[in-house]
Amino acid sequence: MPTLKLREGALAPYKDAKPTEISLQSWRDGVRPEGGRFAIVVPNDTDIREIAPSLASFSVVILDFPKFRDGRAYSQARILRDQLGFKGEIRARGDVLRDQAFFMARAGFDAFELEESRIEGFTEALRTFSQVYQPAADDAVPAWRLRAARAVAA
């Protein structure tokens, strides 16, 4: 399944070398791959803070969506970005819907594993909204802050 990276509001093919993946359980068991980039696959029922001491070892954290209606990986992504300061890639894997794409990007996801046939729809969904109202893990400036800045400048 292709992996797509969020770039400038659209999904683009993943051009970097794919990192070596390791499961959280393997990491707990002491398995440590040799050299290169690493991705840890974290189940959505895990307290993401558990990997905080090892985050520097990983360039990618893959968060699992076993069912689209199970949103625990959203919380994991927000904790990674907001509380743990993770700057690497956060990738969504599993049962994700086009309707979730924009909100996933706001929560901190910046890569998605999707079937080819779903790429166009996800890209369109990421461009659907031009304004946001709450601060989030992304860099979007909330509309109220833009209005306040315009009022001060006037």
Residue 65, beta-bridge partner list: 94
64: left (phi over 0), alpha (psi -120 to 50) or beta: beta
Burial degree of 128 (CB within 10 A; 0-12, 13-18, 19+)? exposed
Model pLDDT for residues 75-116, shown as the tens digit of each residue: 999 999 999 999 999 999 999 999 999 899 999 999 998 888
Q: Tell me, what's the pLDDT at 10? A: 63
pLDDT higher than 70, residue 45: yes
CA distances from 45 to 38, 71, 74, 92, 94 (A): 21, 10, 12, 14, 14
Full residue range of the structural domain in which residue 42 is found: 3-153
Tokens describing residue 16: 């970097």
User: Up-side HSE of residue 10: CA atoms within 13 Å toward CB?
Assistant: 4
What is the model's pTM? Answer: 0.84
Number of domains in the chain: 1
Report which secondary-structure segment, H or E, holds 64. Answer: strand 60-65
